[in-house]
Amino acid sequence: MRDTAAGIEIDAVTKLYGSVRAVDGVSLSVPPGSLVSLLGPSGSGKTTLLRLVGGFETPEAGSIHIAGRDVTPLAPQKRPTATVFQSYALFPSMSVGENVAYGLDAKLPKAERQRRVQESLARVDMAVLGERPVAALSGGQQQRVALARALAVEPDVLLFDEPLSNLDAELRVQTRAEIRALQQRLGITALYVTHDQEEALALSDQIAVLRTGQLVATGTPEALYAQPPTAYVASFLGGANVVRGPLAERLGGRPLADEQALAVRPEDLAPETDSASGVPATLLARQYLGREAEWVVEADGVRLVLRVAPDLAPPEALRLAARRSTVVLDDLSQNPTPSPE
Ligand code: ADP
Ligand code: MG
């Protein structure tokens, strides 16, 4: 790895596919040594933006700098980047070691190639499997080989496109922690595409939220979760209920302007024990989830989701109170709530 980590500067980048603005005037800084996630629903432009940074697409407008150098006109292999693809893009009949060596410059001396292959396989705990054909490996092991292959070129920047989506839930959680630990240990700059809000919250120094090609919010996981700027961010990151009008004013206990809405997270909405206060509601459905239960209720014609203790019995006359809520810019009133994928 290089000694000095390289930052990424994406400046007013636009990519069109016919009339589709896949990436629409996006500017984003990825500070050296940090991991920034691109988070958004399917079709929001995450992959396209990542491919623009990797050099697999050329923008119609804007520029991309890495370590202060304009890379916009450069081909992928001329950029200091390496990508871990969703599909891994491995050669099944080749051995682990051959796959890792594949992306290396043919002019590298043989000893140096071997050193890089060994070192990167060791970094992902795959050193002993170098001779195996890739087809004989589990999904989790293939994911590690793809990561080792990216590391072997000793890039300044790692690009990830939903690298965990082919793994089962338990392995996903374990592997994302390993990717984060490795990224921090190497101090390497990373841009990480995901549609999974929990993954973005768990991994990132900063999250960049995309919506139909546009960057709509950037911030630390803590800041975006606690203080979402818009209804879109509140509902995508944490699944908040978005409420408007008189119901919102009663739940939030404060007046709202026309362009504002109230975001209330399912865990912040609770049955009121004092029967004189709170907003009357009807229970529509209950789901037991082990550690908690999810209630779907209706208040004032609006469906709301609650997360409550699993053993809580619904009262005869249900009334709701919001323990906490955030006033957000209502950018959803014309559009349906986004859902992952
Ligand atoms: P995401 O990765 O967030 O799911 P993409 O970047 O793949 O989103 O896609 C963004 C938009 O661009 C979508 O509307 C998609 O249909 C369109 N798109 C992506 N790649 C192509 C392509 N090669 N040709 C035409 N349209 C594309
Ligand atoms: Mg994608």
pTM listed for this prediction = 0.92
Tens place of pLDDT per residue across the chain (341 aa): 444 569 999 999 999 999 999 999 999 999 999 999 999 999 999 999 999 999 999 999 999 999 999 999 999 999 999 999 988 889 988 999 999 999 898 889 999 999 999 999 999 988 888 788 999 899 999 999 999 999 999 999 999 999 999 899 999 999 999 999 999 999 999 999 999 999 999 999 999 999 999 999 999 999 999 999 999 999 999 899 999 999 999 999 999 999 999 999 999 999 987 767 889 999 999 999 999 999 999 999 999 999 999 999 999 899 999 999 999 999 998 655 555 54
Answer yes or no: is the C-beta of 338 below 6 A from any ligand 1 atom. no
Q: How far apart are the first and last CA of the chain?
A: 35
- Looking up tokens 């006109």, which residue turns up? 73
Phi, psi of 298 (to 5 degrees): -125, 130
Residue count of the chain, please give it.
341
If you take atom 12 of ligand 1, which residue's CA is the nearest one? 22
Instruction: Please give the Cα distance from 95 to 87 (Å, whole number).
Output: 17
Answer yes or no: is the C-beta of 20 below 6 A from any ligand 1 atom. yes
- Which ligand number lies closest to the CA of residue 24? 1
Answer yes or no: is the C-beta of 46 below 6 A from any ligand 1 atom. yes
If you take atom 27 of ligand 1, which residue's CA is the nearest one? 17
Radius of gyration for the chain, computed over Cα atoms and rounded to the nearest angstrom? 23
Distance of CA 198 to the CA centre of its chain: 8
Q: Which atom of ligand 1 is nearest to the CA of 195?
A: 3
Contact 50, 38 (CB under 8 A): yes
Answer yes or no: is the C-beta of 22 below 6 A from any ligand 1 atom. yes
Instruction: Please give the Cα distance from 69 to 78 (Å, whole number).
Output: 12
Alpha carbon of 232 to ligand 1 centroid (Å):
20
**CATH 2.40.50.140 is right for the domain spanning 232-329:** yes
Answer yes or no: is the C-beta of 17 below 6 A from any ligand 1 atom. yes
If you take atom 11 of ligand 1, which residue's CA is the nearest one? 22
Structure-block tokens of residue 118: 């060994």
Answer yes or no: is the C-beta of 5 below 6 A from any ligand 1 atom. no
Contact 294, 286 (CB under 8 A): yes
Structure-block tokens of residue 200: 């973005």
Fold equal for 8-228 and 232-329: no
Among 15, 20, 192, 195, say which to mutate for ligand 1: greatest number of ligand atoms within 8 Å of CB: 20
Answer yes or no: is the C-beta of 155 below 6 A from any ligand 1 atom. no
Domain ranges, ordered by start, for the chain: 8-228, 232-329
Contact 58, 131 (CB under 8 A): no
Q: Which atom of ligand 1 is nearest to the CA of 48?
A: 6
Answer yes or no: is the C-beta of 15 below 6 A from any ligand 1 atom. no
Contact 101, 113 (CB under 8 A): yes
List Cβ<8 Å contacts ≥24 apart for 271-276: 271/306, 271/308, 271/312, 271/314, 271/315, 271/318, 271/319, 271/320, 271/321, 272/319, 272/320, 272/321, 275/317, 275/319
- CATH code for the structural domain at 8-228: 3.40.50.300
Answer yes or no: is the C-beta of 43 below 6 A from any ligand 1 atom. yes
